[in-house]
């Protein structure tokens, strides 16, 4: 592993930290796993890397960013480019605007299904049917 690779790994770590900091400081209901941001670097085996450490594979665990929990990359450059995209996307999120969208979604939902709002807001009010559509349960 050369100095350039070391620098790229530090960049990946820095960008992930900034993206996670933004997420956890702003998301009102963050969802995550304990392994968030874990970076695993795989070098070649005994026969492949006789004289020099060569990065063969990188994995980044992120439930928060990307389409999967475990993200595999064939090169450090591929991992860095992906993390740059995650970072850019995360830092561009306007959480105040997202909160407004969420509020508008639920207001529209309750206009379409007013019985749900009554049931969720005041569980003491009994509806003609239970939540699953069966007979009324007292």
The pLDDT of residue 122:
55
pLDDT in tens, 30-87: 888 889 999 999 998 888 877 788 899 999 999 999 888 999 999 999 999 999 999 9
Q: Number of C-alpha atoms within 13 angstroms, CB side, residue 52?
A: 7
Residue among 66, 62, 64 nearest 29 (CA) = 64
The pLDDT of residue 134:
52
**What mean pLDDT, rounded, does the chain reach?**
82
Reply yes or no on whether the pLDDT at 120 is more than 60: no
d(CA 90, CA 1): 30
Local confidence band at 7 (pLDDT 50, 70, 90 cut-offs): very high
In contact, 73 and 9? CB cutoff 8 Å: no
Reply yes or no on whether the pLDDT at 130 is more than 60: no
The pLDDT of residue 121:
52
Local confidence band at 111 (pLDDT 50, 70, 90 cut-offs): confident
Residue 116's CB is within 10 A of a number of other CB atoms, namely: 14
d(CA 9, CA 5): 6
Higher pLDDT, 87 or 123: 87
Say which residues have a Cβ less than 8 Å from residue 129's Cβ, sequence separation at least 6.
135, 136
């Amino acid at each position: 592993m050369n100095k350039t690779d070391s620098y790229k790994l530090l960049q990946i770590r820095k960008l992930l930290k900034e993206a996670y900091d933004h997420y956890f400081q702003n998301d009102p209901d963050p969802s995550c796993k304990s392994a968030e941001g874990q970076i695993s670097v795989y070098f070649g085996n005994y026969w492949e890397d006789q004289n020099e450490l060569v990065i063969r594979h990188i994995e980044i665990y992120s439930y928060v960013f990307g389409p999967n929990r475990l993200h595999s990359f064939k090169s450090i450059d591929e991992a860095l480019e992906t993390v740059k995209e995650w970072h850019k996307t995360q830092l561009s999120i306007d959480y105040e605007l997202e909160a407004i969208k969420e509020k508008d979604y639920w207001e529209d939902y309750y206009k379409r299904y007013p019985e749900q709002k009554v049931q969720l807001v005041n569980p003491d009010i009994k509806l003609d049917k239970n939540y699953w559509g069966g007979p009324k349960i007292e």
